[in-house]
Structure 1
């Protein structure tokens, strides 16, 4: 769309607000669609081949035992899947800025579940864990081998998939926030299958003695600590990768990128080697794990806060013509983006019904931003419907354009 033909939704000529919107849509990639099948893209074929290898590895691992421990495998699959669905719903909830297309999320989950787990991590981990006892002895290996291996092999495996997805969706994965969200979904796929793998092994290693109970016990144990796991680690590593690589929407920041990658790997190390770090003391091990949880979520909060201003500016620029045309107010847009303004916006509501309407209004304004970006600023039926929903909720919230 060239500047000399840009038209606003109200029919006025090219404006500064309209230019801001056009540039924001171009740079951010908001509204872009994702096509997984790209025969002319090498990333597509690498993804397919490695997924096929991972699937064959998974089949060769599970198939010989599946008939003997079917009950245990089934309950482990159900429990781990339910946990995964809960985290999936939460990650989709926090993916509030540029909503990643469902196909891209599916590709991220699949990579974490199959190629990263079975084509890379399990194969390399098995080899390395067999070497360490010979080099350093059984005691050292029991305390430190997992942390000396998994943070490197597993984070590298997940990061390879993230780079491939960047090759498949270069306009969709551009900001640090994209790295955090897509990385979390890759980690979620890895975590669900790793949890299932542990539960399946618990069934098989009991030699047929209560395979169902062993699978339930291991599944519940893994699920109980899943809130600090691979989604957190890979979210930080993939966010760091965006800083390291640099994109059209995110200038390269090598120092910050290395810091986030190192943080993700370090947290992975502390989680896997909590026994070694605590000297085998149960209370000290709890302290190590608690400190790791606090540190992990602190760093994750910092990562999201550093990523937020870029997304905020995209929202403001995409909605600038809507504000100029009087469909929105600056205060309403600020109520979506700024935490302090959002609290004041809610507090100013006269009653409970109005507060509820204002909460839905914030969501409707973001929906309008997504529709405007998807339609590239055109005054389509979808955009008109979103505007009408904003107006309906504004009326229910007791607001008017004089806010």
Structure 2
């Protein structure tokens, strides 16, 4: 009980510190403008990751914690270390060089590590919630979305404080929004997703070496991409930036989306293959197989429950569907340990309870 409360307190204090720091540097009005501008891309990015997570939704509290981690803990960690690296660079190489050292070396190494740390915590402490690549992508994406949200507040706020909305040759908040909110809202999530994929591979293998190498490889890939992105913006000028953007970042983003689509189809096949055996064990009814084997069928079932019996009934049906999916993945990986058997018993209890609640609420609604 004390650990979650302590974690919330730490996140809140970090958030207050960052808010105070931003308002000191650019002013309250600029921070307010930054928040408004930063909300647009973050809503789109979060919606995208929620779409990715539809087959086996992760606990909402963990997704919220991942976002808060990125927005507060990861951001303040990166800020402290990057500022120190910049100061050391200025001291050793001369004034003005520290910012380049920070952007090209410190920022990629530290920011990716700070964002990926939450995925590592989930992988280590909540392994039951980690079933594969999609889970790694979602947790990494939410952490990175939180980080980008806080970073965008400052960048948009600074642009507004210095140039307003922008005029003539000046780059105001509209130009900053176009660059960071329209052209490249996916960059921070893309860098972090590399490690997320690595953790997902590690979750699906029994080979110890791969459980270490895969996440490290993903982290290194994210760091290199981040360094390339920063160097194109810092050293290369507009031509180099556009070359990296269109020839590397956009194709890589498209490739990750393709991987996500393939993984979603894989998840659907795993669930569909498990349903007949669940019918044999009388965990689910035969009439439910078609409803559970597609996202459209599941969505229609929840809508019908909401329409006929209310929101609580729809929530119970959703919990029932999620339990079926978790069981399918657990049995796909086979029941090997006492922990696996305990997890199966928990899921069966949740499944039966949710089904009973849905039936009770449906009967009440019919009455």
TM-score for the superposition, normalised by structure 2: 0.70
Residue 300 of structure 1 corresponds to which residue in structure 2? 256
Residue 163 of structure 1 corresponds to which residue in structure 2? 120
Residue 352 of structure 2 corresponds to which residue in structure 1? 378
Superposition deviation, residue 145 in structure 1? 4.4
Bigger helix share: 2
After superposition, give the CA deviation of every residue in 1:329-375 in whole Å (9 maximum; x if it has no partner): 68994xx4xxxxxxxxxxxxxxxxxxxxxx73365589664253565
Q: Are residues 56 and 384 of structure 1, via their aligned partners in 2, closer, same or farther at CA, if it must alter by over 3 Å? A: closer
Residue 122 of structure 1 corresponds to which residue in structure 2? 79
Superposition deviation, residue 53 in structure 1? 5.0
Matched, 1:72 2:30: yes
Matched, 1:51 2:8: no
Q: Are residues 302 and 255 of structure 1, via their aligned partners in 2, closer, same or farther at CA, if it must alter by over 3 Å? A: farther
Asked whether the 8 Å contact 1:270–1:289 carries over to 2, the reply is no
**What is the distance in 2 between the residues matched to 1:143 and 1:61?**
22
1:176 to 128, 133, 146: 133
2:267 to 277, 293, 311: 311
**What is the distance in 2 between the residues matched to 1:137 and 1:196?**
30
Q: Secondary structure at the match of 1:77?
A: helix
Matched, 1:105 2:74: no
**What is the distance in 2 between the residues matched to 1:290 and 1:377?**
47
Larger mean CA deviation between 250-259 and 363-372 belongs to 363-372
Matched, 1:237 2:195: yes
Residue 246 of structure 2 corresponds to which residue in structure 1? 290
**What is the distance in 2 between the residues matched to 1:383 and 1:315?**
21
Residue 193 of structure 1 corresponds to which residue in structure 2? 150
**What is the distance in 1 between the residues matched to 2:44 and 2:266?**
28
RMSD of aligned alpha carbons: 3.8
Residue 336 of structure 2 corresponds to which residue in structure 1? none
1:218 to 176, 181, 184: 176
Asked whether the 8 Å contact 1:233–1:267 carries over to 2, the reply is yes
After superposition, give the CA deviation of every residue in 1:4-38 in whole Å (9 maximum; x if it has no partner): xxxxxxxxxxxxxxxxxxxxxxxxxxxxxxxxxx4
TM-score for the superposition, normalised by structure 1: 0.65
Q: Are residues 75 and 370 of structure 1, via their aligned partners in 2, closer, same or farther at CA, if it must alter by over 3 Å? A: same
Residue 43 of structure 2 corresponds to which residue in structure 1? 85
Asked whether the 8 Å contact 2:86–2:101 carries over to 1, the reply is no
Residue 388 of structure 1 corresponds to which residue in structure 2? none
Asked whether the 8 Å contact 1:108–1:165 carries over to 2, the reply is no
Which has the bigger relative contact order, CA under 8 A and spacing at least 6?
Answer: 1
Larger Rg: 1
Matched, 1:251 2:206: yes
Superposition deviation, residue 122 in structure 1? 0.8
**What is the distance in 1 between the residues matched to 2:279 and 2:89?**
63
**What is the distance in 1 between the residues matched to 2:269 and 2:7?**
33
Residue 151 of structure 1 corresponds to which residue in structure 2? 108
2:228 to 270, 277, 299: 270
Superposition deviation, residue 224 in structure 1? 1.9
